[in-house]
Amino acid sequence: MSTADDRARGLMVGVAAGNLLGVPVEGRSKSQVRERFPDGVRDITARPGFPDDDDLAQSLIIAEAAEEGPLDVEDLGHRFWEWGEVNGLGMGNLTSQVLALFGGSPPRRLGWGTIDDVRQPRGLAIEDASRKAWGGKSAGNGALMRCMPIAIRWRDDAVALARNSVVSAVPTHWDARCGWSCAALNIGIAAALRGETMDADALIAAAEEAVLASLPELSRYGYEAGMPHSVRIAVAQAASLEIDEIEFDGWNLGFTLLALRAGLITLWRAPDFEQGLRAVVEAGGDTDTNGAVAGAALGARFGIDAIPQRWRDRIAELREGRTPLEEYSDMLTAARG
């Protein structure tokens, strides 16, 4: 049986496994994935020589910030700007728009830049940039894809977990559905890290109670008491579907609530790590992001030893020379005190 430390390591390695497994079929429909991979998506086929993709790279940014203490919107804005300057691989449209407003010009996405290459941002404050780019309509999945390390850091403190989950979304994804998605997912993942199960009703109640406790602060970002109806529906749908019924393609494939469903369905329904992750990736849509979210949830549920060794070996090979992902989970566990 896995330990809490094993499950935390599984979360971090799971982000990479899902991200990398999903990249080759990103944007394809379920039927198109089946046509290209009639035997299923079984192996990580990414080529070496590339920096971490945005799902994993931003997850590591969040992990580093969380290790230092409670998250801060302005600080995260600067961290994301630095990443956009020196790396930027896979950056989503909304994040790109926000960082262009924050920086005064688009981030350069150098790929293999260094900290010495980073220009100082000269645009709007990050809160203003995020709100302006949002425009009252966009609820993309770019905040959800990176929030999962927060569940390791504040596993046993639901209020801090929800507060920091919401704050992690604000710099680039102003829509409240994004922050609520992060809070809901991480409440569920934290339960898995503790070796517990939490059904949909309990998850909704826990998330609402935890966010309510932080409303004096979170109200400045547009948050109110009570989970938005659409987020509640997404949680309920995840609880009612079987793993083989899911599909994520369509015009809104980058919607935060689809990625939330991907994480919760695998958290509650997957028989094991590999079958759960393959089911999400083979369902089509924004497969690298849905894969990253599902991989984290599955890793938190089943532990690192449940991740196929061939995937773990490939991740280590592709990331040779970089900090091992297990070290990020261990530092977050240590930061809990």
Domain boundaries, the chain: 4-45+139-335
If one compares 253 and 198, the residue with the highest pLDDT of the two is: 198
Contact 120, 81 (CB under 8 A): no
Confidence band of 114 (pLDDT split at 50, 70, 90):
confident
Question: Looking at residues 76-96, what average pLDDT do you find?
Answer: 96
Which pLDDT belongs to residue 276?
Answer: 98
φ/ψ region of 168 (left if φ > 0, alpha if ψ in -120 to 50, else beta) reads alpha
Segment 40-57, tens digit of pLDDT: 999 999 988 899 999 999
Contact 300, 332 (CB under 8 A): no
Q: What is the CATH number of domain 4-45+139-335?
A: 1.10.4080.10
What is the pLDDT, as a whole number, of residue 113? 81
**CA-CA distances (angstroms) from residue 95 to 6, 53, 140?**
32, 14, 9
Using CA atoms, how far apart are residues 151 and 193, in angstroms rounded to an integer? 8
pLDDT in tens, 159-178: 999 999 999 999 999 999 99
pLDDT in tens, 230-275: 999 999 999 999 998 888 877 678 899 999 999 999 999 999 999 9
- pLDDT above 70: residue 2: yes
Q: Would you state the pLDDT for residue 88?
A: 94
Helix, strand, coil distribution of the chain in percent, nearest 5: 65, 0, 35
* For residues 127-148, average pLDDT: 95
The proportion of the chain whose per-residue pLDDT surpasses 90, expressed as a percent, equals 91
pLDDT of residue 337: 63
Say if residue 208's pLDDT is above 80.
yes
Closest C-alpha to 162, from 224, 227, 210? 210
pLDDT tens digits along 269-301: 999 999 999 999 999 999 999 999 999 999 999
Q: Considering the chain, what percentage of its residues have pLDDT values greater than 70? A: 99
What's the token pair of residue 332? 């977050």
> What is residue 269's predicted lDDT score, i.e. its pLDDT?
96
